[in-house]
Structure 1
Amino acid sequence: MLVHSRIARTAIALASLAALAACAEEVTGAAAPATVSAPTVAAPTAAQATPSSTPESGTPPEVIDAPATPLAEPTVAKTQGRVRIYSGPSDVPLSPAPDTGRGSTVIQLNGTASADIDMYVADGQGRTLYRFDKDTAKPPTSNCNGDCAKAWPPLLVKSAGQIYPSGIDPKLVGYVERADGTCQVTIGGWPVYLFAKDAEPGDISGQGVGGTWFAISPTGERTAPLPEVVGTTTTAATR
């Protein structure tokens, strides 16, 4: 009986060792392989962001430029009658219809810097725009008609029209109906004009004329007077 008992215990022990060996083999095969290889990096897909590289490769990460952000389209900041005034300059080239005496369907207003008179407003062709002190801003009223309007042509917008201001608060832009029924652009309530004697873009020969005409600022105010030119006098030598 003692021998049989020892044989039984020995058989149980051997069976247990066999079981342990089987579990160890299963675990080793699943989680502890003899050779550990580097993880495989899947090729990046088109939907993934910038692909990365491993430090071991010695290759710097590839830099992919972000797509250029398209310019935001100007939005309508305000409307007056059938004229739409936009939040900024147009994002596409403009081709306004020719002015037939009633105005253009598209108007551009550009804040422009000057070393002589500070910031002023020009139209889309670079021509200086002026205000007349004998007009009023509240309410907007033009008092330049007849021969005055020949020397100082009003900037007219035709209905239905569009105005694109750059460097000017669109809320300050509008128009006033003139005595002849045309619509004159206003800035800060002031009707704006061109000057017939300005020959080239950027000319400001109308500045200070009669003490009442001044290039208009982006807020509708007068611009600074032209600096005075101080000449030198020569005295003839006397004997």
Structure 2
Amino acid sequence: MLLPSRIARTAIALTSLAALAACGDKAPEAAAPAASTAAAPSPAVSAAASPDQVPEVIEASASPMAAPTVAKTQRRVQIYSGPAAGPLSPPPDRGRGSTIVQLNGTASADIGTYVADGQGRTLYRFDKDSAKPPKSTCNGDCAKTWPPLLIHSPGQIYPSGINPQLVGYVERADGTCQVTIGGWPVYRFAGDKAPGDIKGQGVGGTWFAVNPTGGRTKPLPEVVAVPTATAR
């Protein structure tokens, strides 16, 4: 009679392991802010950016800043009140996202303020997704062109220039956790090769760099061709 009970215990254990692998399965656990390698000032959104320069997040001041606190929790993902106190060193992404995500409000002279990840890569929203409720519809080949920004649970998100109450995540069809801003799932664009690239802006009339509230940024300005005089 011991065999059935052992089988039952094994099945329960396997079920528990599967649950732990799911996206944000448990109630939040107490966790300290991510360790940093050196103290650094808090970054702020740059005031302006010219078309010839890569938009960036610049340092505000050298004065000491209070360490960020947990502003919000979504199951086992903690969203902090601002950027980390120093450089972040997340472990390697093994396909289900990083355990640490940085979000930076970034200024652009062309499209206004948008959100970039910790490496300066532009983040986009897709009009065919939804924010209420949050839902991602970009899967399969779409997700190869537009890789979702994933947070591995348990994890930490540090927003700079974004209200932390607007930040969260949504579970995708494959069980991974995709970061959301204002309810909108956010993505990178495979065509962007360098920090500050916004080559995905306006693609298909449905993809736009996301602003700090989850909305669209403005379309890129149209380039008007000036006719040249023909020689006679």
TM-score, normalised to structure 2's length?
A: 0.72
Which residue matches 1:144? 138
Which residue matches 1:126? 120
Q: How many residues get paired?
A: 171
Which residue matches 2:190? 196
Cα offsets for 1:1-40 (capped at 9, x unmatched): xxxxxxxxxxxxxxxxxxxxxxxxxxxxxxxxxxxxxxxx
State yes or no: 1:98 paired with 2:92. Answer: yes
In the TM superposition, structure 1's runs of 4+ consecutive aligned residues that sit over 6 Å from their partners are none
Structure-1 separation of matches of 2:220 and 2:87: 34
Task: Compute the displacement of 1:98 (Å).
Answer: 1.4
Cα offsets for 1:160-194 (capped at 9, x unmatched): 00000000000000000000000000000000000
Task: Compute the displacement of 1:210 (Å).
Answer: 0.1
Higher relative contact order (CA 8 A, sep 6+): 2
Which residue matches 2:227? 233
Alignment-mate amino acid for residue 123 of structure 1: D
Greater helix content:
1
Cα offsets for 1:48-75 (capped at 9, x unmatched): xxxxxxxxxxxxxxxxxxxx97421100
Cα offsets for 1:136-170 (capped at 9, x unmatched): 00000000000000000000000000000000000
Which residue matches 1:212? 206
- Equivalent residue in structure 1 for 2:107, among 95, 104, 113: 113
Which residue matches 2:69? 75
Structure-2 separation of matches of 1:151 and 1:136: 19
Secondary structure (helix, strand or coil) at the match of 2:192 reads coil
| Structure number with larger C-alpha Rg | 1
Q: CA RMSD in A?
A: 1.2
Task: Compute the displacement of 1:97 (Å).
Answer: 1.1
TM-score, normalised to structure 1's length?
A: 0.70
Task: Compute the displacement of 1:99 (Å).
Answer: 1.2
Identity of aligned residues (%): 78
